[in-house]
């Protein structure tokens, strides 16, 4: 029973964690040695010591925080709008199939536009400030959330829908008490994917044209060949992506606890 519970919680065996930690330590050690011994040019690779010193310097000079906070604001606003709009429109599509048939071709057409191609147009429309970055995050995230919501809701078991009809549930009750709970795994799958890509969208937009942000720091570092800062920004972006995904996982566990635990409790 304990093994079963451990498997359900998805905890990693201790030996896997040890191997992963050992690999990271060996990689960092090799980087430090390769740069200090001159095996790899400092233009191409930065040692962990250099990256750490760059982090301390950017914090002391108050260089990092303004750019980091700006990128986080852009991600938060764009992602929040994508979640509300994506799930909301998905619910409307499921509730009103005619509306889906009417609007879906337009939505699919906008989704198919390459983000790299539309970025210059966003700059013309919204400038190089905050708004264009938020719009690009929405374009990165909205469609995935929308179609995961619709797909998950359409996979609801027929007997659940029939039971709702037997109890004469209204359309709203059917959507919010039957379809959406059934679609939660698919919705959170979309939220998880877009949480990882949202920060990527912001960095891409800031690299294209901006006055600040992590993408701006990348461009600036590349221009002056500041390799330690390049690696520092890349590490920060990676950590933020992992953090956003873990936040979504936590929200999923809290939200789905009611449906996950109730079958076991009833036994």
Using 50, 70 and 90 to split pLDDT, how confident is the model at 165?
low
Record the pTM. 0.80
| Closest to 132 (Cα-Cα) out of 207, 64, 242, 68 | 207
- 223 and 261 together in one domain: yes
Instruction: Tell me the three state secondary structure of residue 92.
Output: helix
Q: 23-27, 99-103, 253-257 — which is least confidently predicted? A: 253-257
- 195 and 241 together in one domain: yes
CATH number for the domain spanning 188: value is: 1.10.3720.10
Q: What is the pLDDT of residue 161?
A: 62
What is the domain count for the chain?
2
- 66 and 124 together in one domain: yes
- 115 and 178 together in one domain: yes
Which of 43-47, 120-124, 150-154, 237-241: highest mean pLDDT?
237-241
Q: 4-13, 61-70, 111-120, 223-232 — which is least confidently predicted? A: 4-13
- 35 and 131 together in one domain: no
Judging by beta carbons within 10 Å of its beta carbon (0-12, 13-18, 19+), is residue 26 exposed, middle or buried? exposed
Task: Say if residues 247 and 192 touch (Cβ distance below 8 Å).
Answer: no
- 10 and 139 together in one domain: no
Q: Kindly list the distances between the CA atom of residue 12 and the CA atoms of 18, 46, 185, 192, 261, in Å, as whole numbers in the listed order.
A: 10, 31, 22, 20, 21
The tens digit of pLDDT for each residue in 38-83 reads 787 777 888 888 889 889 988 888 888 999 999 999 999 999 999 9
To the nearest whole percent, how much of the chain has pLDDT over 90?
14
Number of Cβ within a 10 Å radius of residue 83: 20
- 154 and 24 together in one domain: no
- 19 and 54 together in one domain: no
Q: What is the pLDDT of residue 262?
A: 47
Q: What is the pLDDT of residue 232?
A: 92
- 135 and 206 together in one domain: yes
User: Is 23 a residue whose pLDDT tops 70?
Assistant: yes
- 150 and 199 together in one domain: yes
The tens digit of pLDDT for each residue in 136-159 reads 899 889 999 998 888 887 776 666
Judging by beta carbons within 10 Å of its beta carbon (0-12, 13-18, 19+), is residue 44 exposed, middle or buried? exposed
The tens digit of pLDDT for each residue in 173-226 reads 666 667 777 777 888 888 998 988 888 888 888 888 888 888 889 988 888 888
Residue 33 sits in which domain range? 1-39
Long-range contacts of 150-153 (CB under 8 A, 24+ apart): 150/90, 150/93, 150/94, 150/100, 151/183, 151/186, 152/182, 152/183, 152/184, 152/185, 152/186, 152/187, 153/90, 153/91, 153/94, 153/179, 153/180, 153/182, 153/183, 153/186
- 51 and 5 together in one domain: no
Locus of tokens 């925080």: 65
- 50 and 31 together in one domain: no
């Amino acid at each position: 029973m304990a093994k079963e519970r451990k498997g359900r919680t998805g905890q990693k065996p201790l030996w896997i964690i040890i191997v992963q930690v050992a690999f990271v330590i060996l990689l960092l050690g090799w980087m430090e040695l390769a740069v200090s011994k001159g095996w790899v040019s400092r233009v191409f690779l930065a040692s962990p010591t250099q990256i750490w010193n760059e982090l301390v310097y950017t914090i002391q000079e108050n260089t990092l925080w303004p750019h980091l906070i700006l990128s986080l604001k852009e991600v938060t606003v764009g992602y929040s709008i994508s979640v509300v709009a994506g799930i909301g429109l998905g619910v409307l599509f499921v509730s009103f199939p005619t509306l889906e048939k009417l609007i879906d071709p337009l939505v699919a057409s906008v989704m198919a536009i390459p983000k790299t191609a539309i970025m210059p147009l966003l700059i013309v429309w919204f400038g190089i400030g905050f708004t264009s970055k938020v719009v690009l995050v929405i374009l990165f995230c909205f469609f995935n959330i929308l179609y995961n919501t619709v797909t998950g809701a359409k996979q609801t078991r027929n007997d659940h829908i029939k039971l709702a009809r037997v109890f004469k549930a209204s359309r709203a009750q059917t959507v919010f008490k039957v379809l959406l709970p059934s679609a939660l795994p698919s919705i959170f799958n979309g939220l998880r994917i877009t949480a990882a890509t949202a920060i990527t969208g912001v960095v891409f937009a800031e690299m294209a044209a901006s006055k600040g942000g992590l993408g701006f720091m990348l461009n600036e570092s590349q221009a002056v060949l500041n390799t330690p800062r390049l690696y520092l920004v890349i590490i920060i972006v990676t950590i933020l992506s992992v953090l956003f995904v873990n936040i979504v996982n936590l929200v999923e566990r809290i939200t789905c606890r009611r449906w996950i635990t109730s079958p076991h409790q009833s036994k």
